[in-house]
Every structure is written in C-alpha cells, then in structure tokens.
Amino acid sequence: MDPDDLDSEISAIRAEIRTLHHRRRVLASSILSSRPLQRLSKTHSLPPPPNQSHRQQEWTDISPLIQSSASHAQTNHHRIAFSTTTFPFTDPSPNAESQNLLGIRIDICGREGRYTKPYYVLLRRVNQNKSGDGKKEVKVHRHTIPSVVDIGRLERIYLPLESTTQNTAEDVEAEEQLKPWKRKSRKQDLKTFVREVRKQLVVWHLRCDAVRYLRETLGVVTRGVDDDAMYEDDERPWERDILGPSANVDGAGETRIAKNKLGIVSLGPTALEAVYVRMEWEDGRVGRFKISNTGVVERAVVIGDAGRDKLTEGIITGGDGRVETLLERLGHVAGDV
C-alpha cells in the first residue's frame, strides 16, 4: 500500500478520534448538568443513611464536577435569557488607576440558533473629581465592539463625564438650546448605554442575517468549492462575499449568485454594516435599497438603461416592506407577467 494512502488514512482516523473525544466531552458535560442528575446530587448532599456510606463516597467524589457544571449551566441560562450579563475583571496592569473593572458581556443569537462570539465592554471607574461629591462615574476602558457600532458616540451621549463637560461648556449650551430634551440626560445612564449598544449590535446582526437569507434563497456558488461544470459557461465575475465566514481571512470567500428565475445576478451589502444592499439584474439594471433598523426596506432605487425602474422600486418597498419577503414579492410579480 502506498505510504501516502496510509498517512491520509491515519490522519483521517485521528480526526475522527478527535471528533469523538469532543463529542464525548460535550455529552459528559451535558449529562453532568442535566436536571435528573442535579436533582439526585441534591438529595444525596443530605446526610446519608448509615447503610449507604459507600455510595455516598462516590457522590462526594464527583460532586465538584456536578457543582461546577451546575454553576456553568446556570451562567449559560442567564446569558441566554438576559443576553447581557456582567462580570468583574481585574486589570493586571500594575500602573492602572483602578484595577477593578466592570465587564459587560453581550451574547447575540444569530439565525439558525448560533451564537456569535460574545461582545465585551469593560468599564472603569473614573477618579473622583475635585469636588469629591462621591459620584460614581464610569468610562469605557476596553471593548470588542466592531467599528460598525460607533461606541465612542454612544459613550459621549449616555456616559458623559462631569469633568469633560466643563471643557465643552459652549457646546453643551448650544446643544441644550437645540435639543432641550437632552438637558436631563447629562447624567450618566449606564443602563441605556448598554441597552443601546446591544440594540445596535442586534440590529446589525439581523441585517446581516437578512441579507444572508436573501442570498441563500437565490443560491450562492462559492468559488472553488462548488465550481461545477454547470457553471463553466458562466462568464460573470466572482464577487467578494463580505458577510461570508471567511470574508476577513483571505481571498477565498469569492462567491456569486446562482442562476435564478428572477434574473438577479448579484445581491450583496455595500459594506460590512449591511445598511445598503446592492442588486444587479441580468438586463443590466442596478438597484440599491436601504434596510431600516426594524428590518423594513426603507428606500429603493433601481436604474436601468432607460432610466429609473419605478415599478421594481415600488415592488421592493411595497407589500409589507419586510426584507425577508423581498424575493417573494419580486417573484410574485415576475410570475404574473
């Protein structure tokens, strides 16, 4: 037998062992945190009947495991239920002004029940200012919010600092004249800040999911992966999939829309924030629409060789206006004609 074959077989078997190991760990943890076992462990934590001391020994052996998985399960339940959770964190830097940080973790569940990487915001207490009135002011120290969400601006709005407001007193006055309703919110509002950050993140993920859904409904062909003979005659250029899983890794994420009845040759967001979506039809028409924060197509422009295509624009924004039903609306009209 060829040594290369053996090597590939060995690596395949290793990969399978790894998969099975992983699965065993997941299953073991699931059993440990399962409700019946947890209930059993609770009853056994009571003082044992004298004749069962041997079994009691076994229970105390595995009880740390059960306890840790119980607490982990509880944490996970909190994260799933509340989506935003807090935790303390100690800044390891020896020169930090305040070593104790307040961490905020935001878990966002995407389409298909998958969770994205959690987002974190770490807040630090600002030094008491000279007046010493004991106000508890916080400031964003570090965060992992992508620049799609302008956290600096949210911080300026919801977490203004007493000390910095004096520098820009004129700005504040001007702003108060323009926006009298903002007058009260010069105090820090941590709850609204976190709510707003989470809202922006959720809205962004929803928009991305909606565009991904539209693309998948049309059918996506990935370069090199499903490069079948049936697409050989396809002369259309490949496009970079901004929202693809490997979009930021390297140039591997080149895709294009499969041939479809609607005649759409390309559909994709113009940028990572996925507010504007660009469409292109076979006949050269180019369109662009905007997704609002509530998932409604707000505005749409379609331009062909003969000028604006008001009919298609009307279809895109018409109906219930939802992004998700956009293709149905387009298909409905195409079917009528």
Contact set for other proteins, span 289-308 (CB under 8 A): 293
3-class SS of residue 186? helix
Contact 146, 248 (CB under 8 A): no
Over the range 223-247, which residues count as b (16 or more CB within 10 Å of their CB) and which as e? beeeeeeeeeeeeeeebebbbbeee
CB nearer other proteins, residue 225 or residue 311: 225
Sole residue written with tokens 């935003």: 84
CB nearer other proteins, residue 149 or residue 330: 149
Contact set for other proteins, span 24-53 (CB under 8 A): 25-26, 29-30, 32-33
Q: What are phi and psi of 293, to 5 degrees?
A: -65, -15
> Closest distance between other proteins and the C-beta of residue 258, in Å?
22
CB nearer other proteins, residue 52 or residue 167: 167
Contact 116, 101 (CB under 8 A): no
β-strands 254-257, 239-240 pairing = antiparallel
> Closest distance between other proteins and the C-beta of residue 36, in Å?
15
Contact set for other proteins, span 146-205 (CB under 8 A): 146-150, 153-154, 168, 171, 174-175, 178-179, 196, 200, 203-204
136 touches other proteins by CB under 8 A? no
3-class SS of residue 104? strand
CB nearer other proteins, residue 67 or residue 317: 67
> Closest distance between other proteins and the C-beta of residue 126, in Å?
14
DSSP 17-76: HHHHHHHHHHHHHHHHTSHHHHHHHHHHTSPPPGGGHHHHHHHHHHHHHHHHHHHHHHHH
> Closest distance between other proteins and the C-beta of residue 7, in Å?
16
Give how many residues touch other proteins by CB under 8 A.
Answer: 76
Contact set for other proteins, span 224-283 (CB under 8 A): 240, 242, 245, 247-248, 250-251, 270-273, 275-276
Contact set for other proteins, span 77-96 (CB under 8 A): 79-80, 91-96
